[in-house]
Amino acid sequence: MMGRGLLGIENLAREDIELILETAEHMKEVGTRDVKKVPTLRGRTLINLFFEPSTRTRTSFEIAGKRLSADVVNFSPASSSLSKAESILDTAKTLDAMDPDAVVIRHKVAGVPKRIADQLGAPVINAGDGAHEHPTQALLDMLTVLEQKEHVDGLTVTIIGDIAHSRVARSNIHGFRKMGAEVRVAGPPTMIPAEVEALGVKAYGSLREALEGADVVMALRIQQERLADATFPSVREYAATFGLDRAKLRFAKDDAIVMHPGPVNRGVELAADLADHRPSVILDQVRNGVALRMAVLYLLAGRRRTVAEDREK
């Protein structure tokens, strides 16, 4: 698994997920110290290659890298190869020539981190590729659930929103299923992708049914672009049918927790009071993000060639 990097949850084994989560638990402790820095990745170079802007995720990776004493470099190239006439192959070769120890890539099109990873010696961590996967988000979501529920096996997880365009949904579907949870998706039919059952989930057109007996309720962000391409008629209608508030939450279990990858559109996918108070664990998700990313970097970065190989070079 982790030889090549972390491109997605789909191809991770359950043991790999457990190793990452266990390692992240230990990294959480580092975040409680006064000196929140360990020398583990000293002298290593981590490159953040964000074709799609993202302050949150990039900052989270940056802090994670720095807490491990790595040198972190941020690149934000123009978002499309077309506008820059630099092919993915060129980008990969340029990066490889700089000999980084890990590369974190975010792109608005699915598949780019994998194509670059195929050409790079260094491990690649996918920080989000189009609607495909966002593995560190799903892992930190699982870490947060473990914190609250102590186990994932046997839980019911309901994901609500624009599943079709959501990498967070896909990665969480793979992750929670591998860890033994039952996963449901809910949203307007125009936002449920074709044959989503092939991913091992059940799709619900009724929010109420989707929530019944749920232990974890995850609301996804609604994007304005979807309004533009007519996937749903108005924010008002979405909020009324699939937006989550305390009243609707009552259909879920009494001790259900509420999650969201952020940033929250208050009043759309989550009512304001739900977003800012228990049972929402949104801030825990963010906090766990750094520890989780430290764990991933620890496990992946600094994969050095042996002295013997170096001599050969």
Partner 1 sequence: MSNTPPIQGTRPGEAGNAGSRRPQPDSVVLDDDAVRRALLRIAHEIVERNSDLGSLYLVGVPNGGVPLARRVAANLRQLAAQEVLVGVLDTTLYRDDLITRGERPRLRRTEMPSSVDDRCVILVDDVASTGRTIRAAMDALMDFGRPRSVQVAALVDRGHRELPIRIDYVGKNIPTQREDLVRLREGESGALEVLLLRCGEGAPA
Partner 2 sequence: MARVWIQGGRVLDPGTGHDGPADVLLADGRVVEVAVGLEAPDADRVDATGFWVVPGFIDLHTHLREPGHEYKEDIASGGRAAVAGGFSAVACMANTDPVNDDPAVTGFILDRARQDSPARVYPVAAATRGLEGRVMTEMVALREAGAVAFSDDGQTVMDSGVQRRVLEYSTLVGRPVIVHAEDRGLVGAGVMNEGPTATRLGLPGNPAAAETLCVARDLALAEFSGAHLHVAHVSTAGAVGLIRDARCRGVHVTAEATPHHLTLTEEAALGFDTNTKMAPPLRSETDVAACRQGLADGTLDAIATDHAPHAVHEKEVEFTAAPPGVLGLETAAAVVLALVRDGVLSPLQLVAALSTNPAKILGLEAGRLVRGAPGDVTILDPDCTWTYDPAKGYSKSRNSPWAGQCLQGQVVATLVAGRLVYHRDRGVLVP
87 touching partner 2, by CB under 8 A:
yes
Binding partner at 13 among partner 2, partner 1, none, C-beta below 5 to 8 Å by kind: partner 1
By CB under 8 A, tell whether 123 contacts partner 2: no
Span of 19-27, 104-112, 148-156, 294-302 interacting with partner 2 by CB under 8 A: 104-112
Stretch that binds partner 2, among 24-32, 129-137, 138-146, 280-288 (CB under 8 A): 129-137
Is there binding between residue 265 and partner 2 (CB under 8 A)? no
Shortest CB 246 distance to partner 1, Å: 37
The widest CA-to-CA distance across the chain, in whole angstroms, is 67
Three-state SS annotation for 71-108: EEEEECCCCCHHHHCCCHHHHHHHHHHCCCCEEEEEEC
Please say which residue, 193 or 243, places its beta carbon nearer to partner 2: 193
* Omega cis (within 30) before 189: no
Q: Strand ranges (DSSP E) for 101-200?
A: 102-107, 124-129, 156-160, 182-186
Amino acid at 107: H
- The pair of structure tokens assigned to 85 is 């006439």
Q: What part of residues 64-123 is at the interface with partner 1 (CB under 8 A)?
A: 68
DSSP-derived letter for residue 67 is H
DSSP state of 251: T
Would you count residue 306 as binding partner 1 (CB under 8 A)? Answer: yes
Three-state secondary structure string covering 145-169:
HHHHHCCCCCCEEEEECCHHHCHHH
Question: What gap in Å lies between CA 269 and CA 242, rounded to an integer?
Answer: 7
According to the binding rule CB under 8 A, does residue 56 interact with partner 1? no
Task: Check residue 193 for interaction with partner 2 (CB under 8 A).
Answer: yes
Residue (2 or 73) nearer to partner 1, CB: 2
4 binds partner 1 (CB under 8 A): no
H helix and E strand count, the chain: 14, 10
With CB under 8 A as the contact rule, which of the stretches 20-28, 96-104, 131-139, 244-252 interacts with partner 2? 131-139
Stated as kind and residue range, the H or E segment containing 41 is none
* Number of amino acids touching partner 2 (CB under 8 A): 32
Answer yes or no whether residue 115 interacts with partner 2 by CB under 8 A: yes
CA 104 – CA 76 distance, rounded (Å): 11
Binding site for partner 2 (CB under 8 A): 10, 80-82, 85, 87-90, 107, 109-112, 114-115, 129-133, 164-165, 167, 170, 193-196, 198-199, 229
Binding site for partner 1 (CB under 8 A): 1-2, 13, 15-16, 19, 22-23, 26-27, 29-30, 33-35, 37-40, 68, 298-299, 302-304, 306-307
